[in-house]
C-alpha cells in the first residue's frame, strides 16, 4: 500500500501545518508516525488518498513523496504483533520501521523491510491479510 | 574583428613600456592637481620621479570607494571644471554618490574602448543596436551608445522600461544587437514569449551583457531564449563605465583595455599584490584619464587574471568572471570566507535551491559557521520514507564546503520557503559574534 512521507523540520507548528493541509484537502488519516533526529524528522502517514495528500502537501510547500509499505492485519489480541514480526525475524528479513494503523475499524501493522520480495513470500505463505487501500 | 590591432595586439614588452610611460605621466598629473594624492604620496615619501616603470606601481597608494565619498563632489577631479564635458554619478545607496567628471578626451577614449568591445562581439557598421542600459547618471546607457556610434553602427537609445515597446522595436526594426543587464535580457525574453513572439521572428544575433554578476547558466538561458550569442561586458563608473574589459570570440575571460586601465590583483586583507592566476581583489589604475584619474582603485570585485595567450590574437590580459565582492568577506577562524564561494558550491548541487543563509557565531571562543540551505522539492519527488536522502545531502554539502572553504561548516537543510528572501546584498549573512 502507499504511504505518504513528509520531510519536516523540528520546530513548533510544523506538524500542525502538515495536518491542517490534509484537513483542508479532506483527507481521512489512518495512521501517522514521526521519526526524528535533532533537527529534522520524517512524518509517515497512511490515508485514504495518498496521491491527493501528497499533491496537497507539495502545494503547501512541503517536501513529500509516496513510497510502498506493507500493512498486515493484526488480530485484536495480545501477542498478535509479536507473532507477525517474529515471522519476518525468523526468515532473516529486517524491519526498517513499523507503526500501527486503524483502517475501517481493524488494526494493521504498517512496516517496511529491507527485502520486499521476501516479505511478499512471507505474507502469502503465512496466510496474512494485506490492507486494501 | 579587432578594432585597433595596433593596441589590442601589441607585444607585451611594448605594452609594458607604454604603460610605464603613461603611469609616470598620470602620477605626475594627479600629484600636481589633486591634493588628496599629493598628500598621500608625501606621507609615503614618494614623488612622481620615483615612478618610472609599470612595476613601480606597487609603491603607489590605494584609492577606495570611501576616499571617493569623502572627497565628494569634486575633490578627486584633476582637470579644471572648464575642461569637464560630462558628469556621471553612481547610485550612492550607502552614502554620498560618487561623482565622475569626463573631459572631451576621456569621452573619446571611452568610445574607442567601447568600440573595441563591440568589434570583438562581431558588431559592425551594418548592425542595428539597441542600448537598453539605463540612460542618465548611470554610465551604462551613454557609454554603450557612444561606442556603437563611434563604430558606425546604428544605435537605438532604448534605455530601460516599456519592455513591450522595446520588443516590438526589436522585431519591426530588425534589431541585430542589444546591450543590457543579463537580468533585463531574461525579462525581455519573458515579455517576448508572453507577446507570442518567437526567436525566429527576430534578427537578434549578439548581446553585450554586464553591470551585474551572471553565470554560465544564465548565459545559456539568454542565448537560447533570445536567439543570440551573449558576451560579457565589464566596467565600473569609477574607472570609466562599460568598456573596461570584454570577451572575444573565445569567451575564455574578458580582455582588459590595458593600455588605458592597468589591472592588479591583491589580497584584500594584506593588500599584497598577487601573481596572475591567483584569485583576489581587482584593482585598477587609469593610465590616460584626465577628468578623474584614480590610482590603484580597489574595485572590491573578486576575480583573477588569466595567465597565457588568447587564441584571438589580442595580447591584452584577460580577467575571469567576478566571483563576488571582497566587502562581503567574513573572517572565520582566521580564514577568509566569501559568501559567493558558498553560493557556487550550492549551485553545483541540483538538490539545493539557490537560497541560503550563513550564520557565524562564536562558541567557547571558537568561531562556528552554519550554512542553511533550502532544498528543491522536485529532487525528492522520486520517493523517500527515511531521512537518509536528507542526511546524505547534508553530508555532501558539508564535504564540498569543507574542500572549498578549508573550514568545516554545520549544514542545515531547510524546507522550501523557510529562509527569508534577502533584500539587500548582505542580508544572507548573520554574524552573531560578540567580541568581548
Which of B15-19, B234-238, B428-432 has the lowest average pLDDT? B428-432
In B, which residues are within 8 Å of A42 by CB distance?
Answer: 384-387
Which of B83-92, B271-280, B349-358, B402-411 has the highest average model confidence (pLDDT)? B271-280
Q: Residues B41-93: pLDDT tens digits?
A: 999 999 999 999 999 999 999 999 889 989 999 999 999 999 999 999 986 55
Residues 6+ apart with CB under 8 A from B219: B182, B230
Please tell me if residue A51 touches chain B, with a CB cutoff of 8 Å.
Answer: no
Q: Which of B380, B384, B417 to mutate to test binding with chain A, by most A CBs within 10 Å of its CB?
A: B384
Q: Are B375 and B387 in contact (CB under 8 A)?
A: no
In A, which residues are within 8 Å of B414 by CB distance?
Answer: 9
- Strand intervals (E) in B37-76: none
Is CATH 3.30.230.10 correct for A2-68?
Answer: no
ipTM (interface pTM) = 0.84
Does the beta-carbon distance from A62 to B385 stay under 8 Å? Answer: no
Fold that domain A70-125 belongs to in CATH: Alpha-Beta Plaits (3.30.70)
Mean pLDDT, residues B181-190 taken together: 85
Q: Are B169 and B130 in contact (CB under 8 A)?
A: yes
In B, which residues are within 8 Å of A63 by CB distance?
Answer: 375, 377, 380, 415-416
Mark the ranges of chain A whose per-residue pLDDT is less than 50: none
Q: Residues B276-317: pLDDT tens digits?
A: 999 999 999 999 999 999 999 999 999 999 989 999 999 999
**pLDDT bucket at B10, cuts 50 / 70 / 90:** very high
Tell me: pLDDT of B423 over 60: no
Please tell me if residue B391 touches chain A, with a CB cutoff of 8 Å.
Answer: yes
B313 CB burial (10 A radius; 0-12, 13-18, 19+): exposed
Closest alpha carbon within chain B to A8: B415
Q: What angle do CA B306, B307, B312 make, to 5 degrees?
A: 80
Beta bridge partners of B359: B370, B430
Which phi-psi region, left, alpha or beta, contains residue B327 (left: φ > 0; alpha: ψ -120 to 50)? alpha
Q: What are the structural domain ranges in chain B?
A: 99-326, 330-431
In B, which residues are within 8 Å of A15 by CB distance?
Answer: none
Fold that domain B330-431 belongs to in CATH: GMP Synthetase; Chain A, domain 3 (3.30.300)
Please tell me if residue A116 touches chain B, with a CB cutoff of 8 Å.
Answer: no
Please report the pLDDT score of residue B427 as a whole number: 56
Mean pLDDT, residues B210-228 taken together: 86
Q: Residues B246-255: pLDDT tens digits?
A: 999 999 999 9
What is the C-alpha to C-alpha distance for residues A53 and B61, in angstroms, rounded to an integer? 65
Q: Are B204 and B188 in contact (CB under 8 A)?
A: no
Please tell me if residue A61 touches chain B, with a CB cutoff of 8 Å.
Answer: yes
Which of B118-132, B151-165, B208-222, B276-290 has the lowest average pLDDT? B208-222
Measure B148 CA to nearest chain A CA, in Å.
48
Task: Decide the pairing of beta strands B206-210 and A63-68.
Answer: unpaired
Task: Decide the pairing of beta strands B352-363 and B429-431.
Answer: parallel
Cα(first)–Cα(last) distance of chain A, in Å? Answer: 6
Q: Which of B380, B385, B391 sits opposite A63 (nearest CB)?
A: B380
| Percent residues over pLDDT 90 in chain B | 69
Q: What are the structural domain ranges in chain A?
A: 2-68, 70-125
What is the C-alpha to C-alpha distance for residues B135 and B158, in angstroms, rounded to an integer? 9
Q: Under CATH, which number does the domain B99-326 receive?
A: 3.40.50.12780
Which of B201-205, B239-243, B381-385 has the lowest average pLDDT? B381-385
Amino acid at each position: 500500500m502507499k504511504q505518504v512521507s513528509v520531510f519536516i523540520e523540528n520546530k513548533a507548528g510544523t506538524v500542525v501545518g502538515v495536518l491542517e493541509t490534509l484537513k483542508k484537502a479532506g483527507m481521512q488519516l489512518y495512521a501517522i508516525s514521526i521519526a526524528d533526529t535533532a533537527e529534522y524528522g520524517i512524518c509517515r502517514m497512511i490515508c485514504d488518498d495518498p496521491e491527493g495528500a501528497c499533491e496537497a502537501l507539495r502545494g503547501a510547500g512541503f517536501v513529500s513523496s509516496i513510497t510502498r509499505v506493507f500493512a498486515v492485519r493484526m488480530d485484536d489480541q495480545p501477542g498478535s504483533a509479536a507473532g507477525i514480526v517474529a515471522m519476518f525475524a525468523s526468515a532473516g528479513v529486517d524491519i526498517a520501521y513499523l507503526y500501527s494503523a486503524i483502517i475501517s475499524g481493524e488494526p494493521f501493522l504498517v512496516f517496511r523491510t529491507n527485502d520486499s520480495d521476501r516479505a511478499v513470500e512471507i505474507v502469502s505463505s503465512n496466510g496474512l491479510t494485506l490492507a486494501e487501500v | 574583428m579587432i578594432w585597433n590591432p595596433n593596441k589590442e595586439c601589441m607585444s607585451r614588452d611594448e605594452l609594458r613600456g607604454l604603460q610605464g610611460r603613461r603611469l609616470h605621466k598620470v602620477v605626475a598629473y594627479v600629484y600636481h592637481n589633486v591634493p588628496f594624492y599629493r598628500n598621500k604620496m608625501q606621507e609615503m615619501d614618494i614623488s612622481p620621479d620615483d615612478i618610472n616603470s609599470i612595476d613601480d606601481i606597487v609603491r603607489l597608494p590605494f584609492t577606495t570607494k570611501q576616499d571617493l565619498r569623502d572627497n565628494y563632489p569634486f575633490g578627486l577631479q584633476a582637470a579644471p571644471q572648464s575642461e569637464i564635458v560630462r558628469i556621471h554619478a553612481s547610485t550612492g545607496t550607502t552614502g554620498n554618490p560618487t561623482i565622475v567628471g569626463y573631459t572631451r578626451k576621456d569621452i573619446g577614449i571611452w568610445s574607442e574602448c567601447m568600440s573595441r568591445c563591440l568589434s570583438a562581439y562581431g558588431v559592425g557598421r551594418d548592425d542595428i543596436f539597441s542600448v537598453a542600459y539605463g540612460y542618465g547618471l548611470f554610465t551604462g546607457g551613454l557609454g554603450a551608445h557612444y561606442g556603437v556610434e563611434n563604430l558606425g553602427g546604428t544605435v537605438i537609445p532604448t534605455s530601460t522600461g516599456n519592455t513591450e515597446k522595446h520588443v516590438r522595436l526589436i522585431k519591426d526594426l530588425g534589431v541585430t544587437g542589444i546591450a543590457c543587464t543579463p537580468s533585463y535580457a531574461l525579462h525581455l525574453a519573458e515579455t517576448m514569449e508572453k507577446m507570442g513572439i518567437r526567436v525566429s521572428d527576430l534578427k537578434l544575433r549578439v548581446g553585450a551583457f554586464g553591470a551585474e554578476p551572471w553565470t554560465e547558466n544564465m548565459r545559456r538561458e539568454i542565448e537560447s531564449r533570445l536567439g543570440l550569442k551573449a558576451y560579457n561586458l565589464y566596467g565600473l563608473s569609477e574607472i570609466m563605465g562599460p568598456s573596461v574589459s570584454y570577451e572575444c570570440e573565445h569567451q575564455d575571460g574578458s580582455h582588459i583595455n590595458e593600455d588605458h586601465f592597468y589591472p592588479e590583483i591583491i589580497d584584500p586583507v594584506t593588500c599584497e599584490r598577487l601573481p596572475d592566476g591567483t584569485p583576489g581583489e581587482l584593482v585598477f589604475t587609469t593610465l590616460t584619464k584626465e577628468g578623474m584619474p584614480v590610482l590603484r582603485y580597489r574595485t572590491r570585485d573578486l576575480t583573477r587574471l588569466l595567465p597565457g595567450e588568447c587564441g584571438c590574437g589580442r595580447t591584452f590580459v584577460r580577467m575571469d568572471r567576478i566571483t563576488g565582492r571582497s566587502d562581503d568577506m567574513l573572517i572565520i577562524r582566521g580564514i577568509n570566507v566569501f559568501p559567493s564561494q558558498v553560493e557556487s558550491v550550492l549551485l553545483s548541487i541540483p538538490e539545493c535551491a539557490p537560497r541560503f543563509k550563513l550564520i557565524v557565531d562564536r562558541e567557547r571562543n571558537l568561531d562556528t559557521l552554519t550554512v542553511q540551505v533550502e532544498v528543491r522539492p522536485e529532487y525528492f519527488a522520486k520517493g523517500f520514507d527515511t531521512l537518509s536522502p536528507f542526511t546524505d545531502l547534508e553530508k555532501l554539502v558539508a564535504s564540498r564546503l569543507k574542500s572549498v572553504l578549508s573550514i568545516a561548516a554545520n549544514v542545515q537543510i531547510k524546507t522550501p520557503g523557510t529562509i527569508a528572501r534577502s533584500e539587500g546584498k548582505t542580508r544572507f549573512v548573520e554574524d552573531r559574534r560578540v567580541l568581548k
